[in-house]
Every structure is written in structure tokens, then in C-alpha cells.
Structure 1
Amino acid sequence: MVAKFDAFAINPIHDGDAWKICNFIIANEDRLKRYFPKTLEQNLNPTLSQLFVEQKVKQFQNDEEFLFTLKHSETRALAGLIYIKELDWNTKQGEFAYCIGYNFEGQGLTSKAIDKLSQHAFSNLGLETLQIIAHKDNLSSIKVALKTNFKWVKTLINEFTPIGEAPLDMELYELVSDSCKVSKT
């Protein structure tokens, strides 16, 4: 386990997560289709989910991408998924991507998870800068960024193209580790 808060636990993805992820993706398909189309298409049935999990476990072990699950500690219900992706080990930078299940929305769970995983990324993974990239209309995601002390940096022009849509401008938020802030002053 990476972190625990309230009645929830954050864990690295593991081989036993395929069924829960498949069920989570199918139950939240409408919420995921715009910003998580690849995750959605890779988890449309249990066989695909098993392949997805195997790939993500391997990427985690190879420090290529980190996928974490957010589960209710008692029921083990999967509440959300949190990625640390787009890793650049030369600049010690990574990007968060996250989704929360519809039945767990509005409880502040994503903000708490991002806060815990930011601490983990700085202390245990050696990252120094974390990013969140969100569309200006995705108010929930922007709220997570601001609530967890990420600072708006700039608008990224034509940064993301949802399936069947025109390219979207996205907002870039960053959080720099305290140790970097101290060493730069």
C-alpha cells in the first residue's frame, strides 16, 4: 500500500485487479469516453482488462508509467484510477491523470489521493515536478489541481484531441517539490 486516508487505500496496480477495473470502466463508460478513450477501449471485456493489467504491472515495474487503484478499504470497491504518466526521468517530471467512479464523485477523494500520491512521487519516486493537464470546462479536475496546490502555468494550444472532436486547448498546472523550491532560491 502506498497511502491510506479516511476509509480508502491507494495501491499499485496488481494482477488481481482486472475484473474490478473492467467493471469500473464499463460502469463509468460515459464519464471516461472523452478523456480516457484508450483506457476505455483496452477494458471493454475481462480478457482485454487482463491484458491491460499485465501491461500496466510491467510498466510499473519498469518505471515507465505508474497506475494506482483507489479502493474502499472495507468493501474493496474500486473508487478510482490514478496514473503518473509521461515520465521524464531526465527532468524528473511526471503527469497525473485520474478518474473517479460516479458513485464516489463529490467526496474529495481524488484531491486526497493526488495529495498523497504527490508526496509519494516526490519522496519515493524521485520526481521533482508533477503536472495536471485539464480542459477549462473540466471544473472537477481543475478543482483537484487547485485544491492540491498545483499552480496554473499556461494554456497548451491544441493539446488533446478527443475521438471525433476538434483539438482542444488544455490548461497546464504544476506542482514542484519543496526540495526543488529550496534549492532554487
Structure 2
Amino acid sequence: MEFDHFKIQLLQPHEGKAFFDLIERNRPRLEDFFAGTVSKTQTLDDTIAYCEIIQQHIEEQSYFPFLITDLKTNTFVGLVDVKNINWDLPKAELGYFIDANYNRKGIMSKALGLVIDHLILHYKFKKLLCRIGSKNLGSIQVALNNDFLLEGVIKNDYKTTKGEIVDLKYYGRVF
């Protein structure tokens, strides 16, 4: 998938270094809501090992990490991950982030839209959802830009790595 000067594709086994660099550049921003990814990518070696595990999850169709690459710099600049997949319905949760240097440029909204189209076309998902920290106005706007509707607010639903208990807004989209 491509738009403007960006490409979106699943993480490949040989891209551990580039994936590590993306996480490392954004680690402080990601610690609270991408805690699992951050904890498994503390070092380059950890990240390379994690990428091998991810490949198994891709093959099992239990997790799909779509990386956004800036074709001008050949650098990873964002992630849309498809997780908590339930093939019985079928539904999945989407998580996403963009590199701080690319924030507020509409890139994530476009990328998420393309990933959603791909998921509907190739995997026939009937529902996608996003769980977003109630204070994360940027991520909320990305969800709204992609026709997600607020389904509810779950109070005290998530504990950040800093120990703060926060509310999550649940946004859903049915197909």
C-alpha cells in the first residue's frame, strides 16, 4: 500500500534494526500505551528476537504489524498494529502511532484508512475497534477521521507503566 511518499507493509524479518530505531526515537511517548512493544525492544538484540516472534504471529494470523515507511528517507515513521484478533466474529483491535517528527501531518489518518481497507478486503473483518486514552486527542482524531464512533468510556480501564490508572475511550467501526 502506498500514498504520497509513504509505503505501508507488514514488518519483515530483516527489519529489526529499523524497527528498533523507530521505537528508540519515540520511546518516551510510547512507554505508557505501547508498553508491551517498548518492553520487548529495549536493545537491538531484543528487538531482533522479538521480530522473529512477530513473524510467527503473522503466519498464525494472530497479529499484524504494518509499518509506515517514508520513501524519501527509507525510514520507518509509524506503526499500525492489528491485535486481539477474534476470527470467530471476525474482529480486531487497532493500535497506532506516528514518529514525533511526522505528527499532525495527516499521515496516520491516511495510513490507517489504507490498512482498514486492506483488512476488510483481504481478511473480511466485520468490526474494528480502538481503545484510546481519554487524553490522547491526536489518536482520537485519527479514529474519528476514519469513521470510528465512540461506543463508550470505560473508567479505570488501563494502568500505565508509571502506575497511573486511566479511562479508555472505545471507538468502533462495523462493516
Normalising by the smaller structure, the TM-score range is over 0.9
Structure 2 residue aligned with 1:173: 171
Structure 2 residue aligned with 1:141: 139
Find 2:46's aligned residue among 42, 45, 48.
48
Amino-acid identity (%) = 23
CA distances 1:68-120 after superposition (whole Å, capped 9, x unpaired): 10001232111111100010111110010011111111111111111011111
Counterparts of 1:75 and 1:31 in 2: how far apart (Å)?
Answer: 22
Structure 2 residue aligned with 1:73: 71
The normalised TM-score by structure 1 is: 0.91
Q: How many residues align?
A: 175
1:158 is displaced (CA, Å) by 2.4
1:161 is displaced (CA, Å) by 0.9
* 1:12-27 equivalent positions in 2, closer than 5 A: 12-27=10-25
Tell me which amino acid in the other structure corresponds to 2:7.
Answer: A
- Indicate the RMSD between aligned Cα atoms, in angstroms: 1.0
* 1:159-170 equivalent positions in 2, closer than 5 A: 159-170=157-168
1:26 is displaced (CA, Å) by 1.1
1:125 is displaced (CA, Å) by 1.1
Tell me which amino acid in the other structure corresponds to 1:30.
Answer: P
1:157 is displaced (CA, Å) by 2.6
1:128 is displaced (CA, Å) by 0.8
Counterparts of 1:55 and 1:99 in 2: how far apart (Å)?
Answer: 21
Stretches of structure 1 that go unaligned for 5 or more consecutive residues are 178-185
Stretches of structure 2 that go unaligned for 5 or more consecutive residues are none
Structure 2 residue aligned with 1:180: none
Counterpart contact for 2:32–2:162, Cα < 8 Å:
no
Structure 2 residue aligned with 1:105: 103
CA distances 1:27-49 after superposition (whole Å, capped 9, x unpaired): 11111111111111111211001
CA distances 1:139-176 after superposition (whole Å, capped 9, x unpaired): 00000010111011111232211123232210010111
Structure 2 residue aligned with 1:96: 94
Secondary structure of residue in 2 paired with 1:28: helix
Tell me which amino acid in the other structure corresponds to 1:34.
Answer: D
Counterparts of 2:136 and 2:34 in 1: how far apart (Å)?
Answer: 13
1:138 is displaced (CA, Å) by 0.2
Structure 2 residue aligned with 1:4: 2
